[in-house]
Structure 1
Amino acid sequence: MGYGTILSPVLIIMGFDPLIVVPSILLSQAVGGFTASIFHHGFRNVSFHPSSKDLKIVFVITSFGLVATIFAAILAINIPKVFLKTYIGVLVICMGIVLLSKIVFRFSWKRIMGVGILSAFNKGLTGGGFGPVVTAGQVISGQDHKGAIGVTTLAEVPICTAAFLTYVIGRVIKEIEGPILDLPFRDFFQKIFSENIFKWELVLALLLGAVTVAPFGAFTTKKMKTDRLRVILGILVLILGIWTLVKTYL
Structure 2
Amino acid sequence: MRKLIVLAIIGLVAQLVDGSLGMAYGVTSSSLLLLFGIAPAVASASVHMAEVVTTAASGVSHIRFGNVDKSLVKKLIVPGSIGAFIGAVFLGSIPGDLIKPYVSFFLLGLGCFVIYRFLFRANNVQPDTRKAKINKKFYIPLGFIAGFFDATGGGGWGPITTPVLLSKNKMETRRVIGTVDTSEFAIAVSATVGFLFSIGWGQIHWQWVIALMIGGIIAAPIAAWLVKIIPSHMLGILVGGMIVMTNVRTLLNTAEFSPSATMMTYAALFVLWVIGIFYTARNIRKLKNCKQASQIEL
Q: TM-score range by the shorter chain?
A: 0.7 to 0.9
The aligned amino acid for 1:154 is T
The corresponding residue for 1:189 is: none
Residue of 211, 219, 224 corresponding to 2:217: 211
Contact 1:84-1:126 within 8 A present in 2 as well? no
Cα separation, 2, equivalents of 1:131 and 1:215 = 18
Residue of 159, 167, 170 corresponding to 2:187: 159
The corresponding residue for 1:24 is: 46
Residue 2 in structure 1 maps to residue 29 in structure 2: no
Please give the TM-score of this superposition, normalised by the length of structure 1.
0.77
The aligned amino acid for 1:44 is G
Cα separation, 2, equivalents of 1:74 and 1:167 = 6
Structure 1 residue 19 displacement after superposition: 4.7
Residue of 127, 130, 147 corresponding to 2:175: 147
Cα separation, 1, equivalents of 2:164 and 2:255 = 26
Cα separation, 1, equivalents of 2:189 and 2:85 = 13
The corresponding residue for 1:134 is: 161
Contact 1:20-1:197 within 8 A present in 2 as well? yes
The aligned amino acid for 2:225 is F
The corresponding residue for 2:117 is: 102
The corresponding residue for 1:186 is: none
Structure 1 residue 204 displacement after superposition: 1.3
Contact 2:48-2:189 within 8 A present in 1 as well? yes
1:148-202: CA deviation from partner (whole Å, max 9, x where unpaired): 1111111111111111111012223xxxxxxxxxxxxxxxxxxx3xxx3222221
Contact 1:58-1:151 within 8 A present in 2 as well? yes
Cα separation, 1, equivalents of 2:41 and 2:83 = 23
The corresponding residue for 1:63 is: 78
Contact 1:89-1:242 within 8 A present in 2 as well? yes
Cα separation, 2, equivalents of 1:57 and 1:13 = 35
The corresponding residue for 1:177 is: none
The corresponding residue for 1:118 is: 145
Change (3 A) 1:13 1:124: closer
Structure 1 residue 61 displacement after superposition: 0.7
Change (3 A) 1:22 1:90: same
Root mean square deviation of aligned Cα: 2.6
Structure 1 residue 230 displacement after superposition: 0.9
Mind listing any 5+ residue stretches in structure 1 that lack a counterpart? 47-53, 173-191
1:55-99: CA deviation from partner (whole Å, max 9, x where unpaired): 111111111222334555678777643331112211211110110
| Aligned sequence identity (%) | 23
Residue 171 in structure 1 maps to residue 186 in structure 2: no
Matched residue pairs, number?
A: 220
The corresponding residue for 1:51 is: none
Mind listing any 5+ residue stretches in structure 2 that lack a counterpart? 1-22, 119-124, 126-130, 257-298
Which one has a bigger Cα radius of gyration? 2
The corresponding residue for 2:104 is: 89
Please give the TM-score of this superposition, normalised by the length of structure 2.
0.66
Residue 239 in structure 1 maps to residue 264 in structure 2: no
The corresponding residue for 1:198 is: 204
